[in-house]
């Protein structure tokens, strides 16, 4: 799938790529509508429709990922509400061995998430994901999301990766498109980000449903 000898740096998305996206989908599409319905005294389906239209207005922008934005928009304590369902935060079953293999191979491993720093810390607390990484980056620190070319410029200045020696893994096709436009050479999609949803068909990028298919090549092809 890849010539691993050329890959020096691995940039990894978090939600849906290393963590089961079921938590986020459940929170935004079920738990928050339920709690908002109670708060606004409307039906749960009205709450779901209302929130969905609000989500669509800011999808892919920094606001969409910003907990303060949502807390302010709908006047609810988003951080506390997330904690109510935090037991659903979990590492994908195949992620541990993949991350260990990457780490042992000596490559630089950087988490690059659009998640708000507070969402990131809640997830680190629950999963200890930080132990696998050289650096954890919330794109909020650069004021731009992965959908934007500006983020890739700022990220490259900060991390110092070379496009032709970098692998980027994400479950979002529009984000992979953005990385491709910037020139990141090696791209990989996750076809099953949410364990409770069917596998998606990915046609534009190499895609996997289980990291174990990569383990042999990571171990047998050191980077040069
Ligand atoms: Mg993701």
Cα–Cα nearest to 14, from 184, 132, 164: 132
Give the rounded percent of residues in the chain with a pLDDT score beyond 90: 98
Q: Is residue 56 over pLDDT 90?
A: yes
H/E segment holding residue 170: strand 166-170
Distance from Cα 113 to the centre of ligand 1, integer Å: 7
Distance from Cα 221 to the centre of ligand 1, integer Å: 27
Distance from Cα 175 to the centre of ligand 1, integer Å: 9
Distance from Cα 176 to the centre of ligand 1, integer Å: 10
Distance from Cα 34 to the centre of ligand 1, integer Å: 24
Distance from Cα 158 to the centre of ligand 1, integer Å: 21
| Reported confidence tier of residue 206, pLDDT bands at 50, 70, 90 | very high
CA–CA gap between residue 172 and residue 177 (Å, rounded)? 9
Mean pLDDT, the chain, whole residue set: 96
Q: Are 178 and 184 in contact (CB under 8 A)?
A: no
Q: Is residue 148 over pLDDT 90?
A: yes
CA–CA gap between residue 15 and residue 189 (Å, rounded)? 13
Name the packing angle between helices 44-58 and 67-74 (round to 10°). 130
Q: Where are the alpha helices (DSSP H) in the chain?
A: 22-26, 32-40, 44-58, 67-74, 78-84, 95-104, 117-127, 149-159, 173-182, 212-220
| Reported confidence tier of residue 112, pLDDT bands at 50, 70, 90 | very high
Q: Is residue 114 over pLDDT 90?
A: yes
Distance from Cα 137 to the centre of ligand 1, integer Å: 14
Q: Are 8 and 223 in contact (CB under 8 A)?
A: yes
What confidence tens digit (pLDDT) does each residue in 73-96 have? 999 999 999 999 999 999 999 999
What confidence tens digit (pLDDT) does each residue in 96-106 have? 999 999 999 99
Contacts of 135 (CB under 8 A, 6+ apart): 110, 111, 159
Q: Is residue 1 over pLDDT 90?
A: no
- Give the model's pLDDT for residue 55: 96
Query: What structural domains and CATH numbers belong to the chain?
Result: 4-20+90-220 (3.40.50.1000), 23-87 (no CATH)
Paired with 186 in beta bridges are: 167
Mean pLDDT of 195-211: 97
Distance from Cα 41 to the centre of ligand 1, integer Å: 32
Maximum Cα interatomic distance, the chain, rounded to a whole number of Å: 61
Distance from Cα 114 to the centre of ligand 1, integer Å: 8
Mean pLDDT of 115-124: 95
CA–CA gap between residue 66 and residue 149 (Å, rounded)? 19
Distance from Cα 21 to the centre of ligand 1, integer Å: 8
Distance from Cα 42 to the centre of ligand 1, integer Å: 31
What confidence tens digit (pLDDT) does each residue in 171-189 have? 999 999 999 999 999 999 9
- Give the model's pLDDT for residue 60: 87
Cα–Cα nearest to 46, from 35, 58, 33, 59: 33
Mean pLDDT of 24-46: 97
- Give the model's pLDDT for residue 224: 84
Distance from Cα 105 to the centre of ligand 1, integer Å: 24
Distance from Cα 4 to the centre of ligand 1, integer Å: 23
Q: Is residue 44 over pLDDT 90?
A: yes
pTM for the predicted model, two decimal places: 0.95
Distance from Cα 126 to the centre of ligand 1, integer Å: 17
């Amino acid at each position: 799938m890849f010539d691993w000898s050329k890959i020096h740096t691995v940039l990894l998305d978090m939600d849906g790529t290393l963590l089961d996206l079921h938590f986020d989908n459940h929170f935004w599409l079920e738990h928050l509508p339920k709690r908002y319905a109670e708060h606004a005294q409307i039906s749960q389906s009205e709450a779901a429709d209302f929130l969905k239209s609000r989500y669509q207005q800011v999808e892919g922008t920094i606001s969409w990922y910003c907990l303060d934005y949502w807390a302010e928009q709908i006047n609810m304590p988003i951080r506390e509400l997330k904690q109510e369902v935090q037991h659903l935060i979990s590492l994908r079953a195949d992620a541990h061995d993949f991350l260990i293999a990457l780490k042992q191979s000596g490559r630089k491993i950087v988490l690059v998430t659009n998640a708000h720093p507070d969402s990131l810390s809640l997830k680190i607390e629950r999963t200890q994901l930080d132990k696998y990484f050289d650096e954890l980056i919330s794109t909020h620190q650069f004021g731009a999301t992965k959908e934007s070319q500006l983020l890739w410029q700022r990220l490259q200045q900060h991390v110092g990766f070379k496009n032709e020696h970098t692998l980027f893994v994400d479950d979002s096709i529009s984000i992979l498109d953005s990385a491709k436009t910037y020139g990141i050479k090696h791209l990989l999609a996750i076809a099953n980000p949410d364990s409770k949803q069917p596998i998606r068909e990915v046609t534009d990028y190499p895609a996997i449903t289980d990291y174990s298919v990569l383990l042999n090549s990571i171990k047998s092809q050191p980077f040069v």
